[in-house]
Amino acid sequence: MGLLVVGSLGLDTVETPFDRVENALGGSAVYISISAGYFSGPIYMVGVVGDDFPKNYMKVLENHNVDLDGLQIVKGGKTFRWSGKYHYDLNVRDTLLTELNVFESFNPVIPDKYKKSKFVCLGNIDPTLQIKVLDQMDSPNFVVCDTMNYWIEGKRDDLLKLLKRVNVLIINDSEARLLAHEPNLIKAAKQIIELGPEYLIIKKGEHGALLFANDTIFSAPAYPLEMIYDPTGAGDTFAGGFIGYLHKTQDLSSENMKKAVVYGSALASFCVEKFSTKALEDLNYLRVHDRYREFLDLSKFDE
């Protein structure tokens, strides 16, 4: 049974202190799908593009276990475009342009063959749409969801409704603080768990990630990268690796959830090594597993 992924597809123009790319393959659904595709397939991707979306980008997705039957192609429409510029400190970026285009009226329609999926990954889109996706599913038993400051502030009520229906919420540290109105991250996490999700993952970029459940906290290290070319998509790639590993192993225990966090971190550490999806495109399971082992070495100490 495929893994359902819903999110954005876009053409990204990204500038960093090192280089610049134009109209590169991007969007949350893209990063999640390619990343998850290294673990298991098919990936049932639902999203929307215009008919300007390059054919070779379709090929990249197909080559990574992504089924495109759920991709809406709007005739005469323009694909979502985003442009950003990273500073020398790559944690800081300016958004130069956001053209929603066909994404503005995106209405996720789940094809019948996708509805039986048991694993669902809701990329960062309007929580109203995320709910609409869940309403169309037969009986998913594992739902992972991402969101952002924009929805936490602007669509709080819908987001709170959604959180009662998801198993794992993945957000970053500033989003967690905003969602809980609490500066202490550990307190914030406990409050968010009360809102519905069984698990909360807080991404901290170069400082790793934290996994919270009712009775557990797990701290995953960050991979020590000497060169980060382009942080775009790292968070989505993390989510894809996380759910992809769980979908492959079909084991939803806490211990396996921790492994999934490290696999997500491993995929994200590859993502930032080149522009756009380039570094993700030519991975293989062996390289992913080797990096997993490096995370083990990095964080292991004796009793």
Of 6 and 171, the one with the shorter C-beta distance to a copy of itself is 171
Of 112 and 302, the one with the shorter C-beta distance to a copy of itself is 302
Residue 197 CB, shortest distance to a copy of itself, in Å, is: 18
Please name every residue paired with 218 in a beta bridge, in sequence order, or none if there are none. Answer: 211
Of 165 and 190, the one with the shorter C-beta distance to a copy of itself is 190
Of 111 and 221, the one with the shorter C-beta distance to a copy of itself is 221
Residue 17 CB, shortest distance to a copy of itself, in Å, is: 10
For the residues of 67-94, what is the DSSP string, one character each?
E-TTEEEETT---EEEEEEE-SSTT-EE
For the record, the structure tokens of 255 come out as 């211990």
Residue 274 CB, shortest distance to a copy of itself, in Å, is: 17
Q: Which residues bind a copy of itself (CB under 8 A)?
A: 88-89, 183-187, 190, 204, 206-208, 210, 217-222, 224-228, 255, 258-259, 261-262, 293, 296, 298-303
Of 97 and 227, the one with the shorter C-beta distance to a copy of itself is 227
Strands (E), the chain: 3-6, 10-15, 20-26, 43-50, 66-67, 71-74, 80-86, 93-99, 119-122, 142-146, 168-172, 199-203, 209-212, 217-220
Residue 66 CB, shortest distance to a copy of itself, in Å, is: 28
Q: What pairing do the DSSP bridges indicate for beta strands 119-122 and 3-6?
A: parallel
Residue 53 CB, shortest distance to a copy of itself, in Å, is: 35
Q: Of 194, 142, 203, nearest to 171 (Cα)?
A: 203
Amino acid (1-letter code) at residue 13: T
